[in-house]
Amino acid sequence: MVDPIVAALLGGLAAAAGKVASAAVEDAYGALKSLLIKKLGVNSEAVEAIKRLEARPDSEGRKATVAEELAAAKVSGDIELTEAAQRLQAGLDQLPPGARTQIQLAVGNYIAQASGGSTATVSVGHGALGSKT
């Protein structure tokens, strides 16, 4: 399960990069990022990872690094950050359906994403997970 802070942050960035973010989403994203900077420091690994992702918002590797750095910073239990993430997520949820389809979040291993009625699959080796062939 992806941490709600990570999910909201990446969703907000995806909306901004896709130019589908409302002013409320942009404000909530900025507020969450500012709070992260305040709590972690402008030169923290997590904040640096966010800045690098903002430069290349389509980079799956950079998304994974942001998730990893935020997990390492142990932000998931922070009440203020959680509330800021909830406000951002609420803004994302208010975007029109067409805009929401442009926001995809995938963090982890063995992930396939599909959009526009297409399909995606993940195959991990022959006989993966101990299945008999």
**Residue 132: predicted pLDDT:** 46
Residue 43 has pLDDT above 90, yes or no: yes
Instruction: Give which of 9, 4, 44 is closest to 28, Cα–Cα.
Output: 9
* Rounded distance between C-alpha atoms, residue 71 and residue 16, angstroms: 23
**pLDDT tens, residue by residue, 50-82:** 999 999 988 999 999 999 999 999 998 899 999
- pTM as predicted: 0.72
Give the pLDDT band of residue 116 (cuts 50, 70, 90): very low
Residue 127 has pLDDT above 90, yes or no: no
Phi-psi group of 91: left, alpha or beta (phi > 0 → left; psi -120 to 50 → alpha; rest → beta): alpha
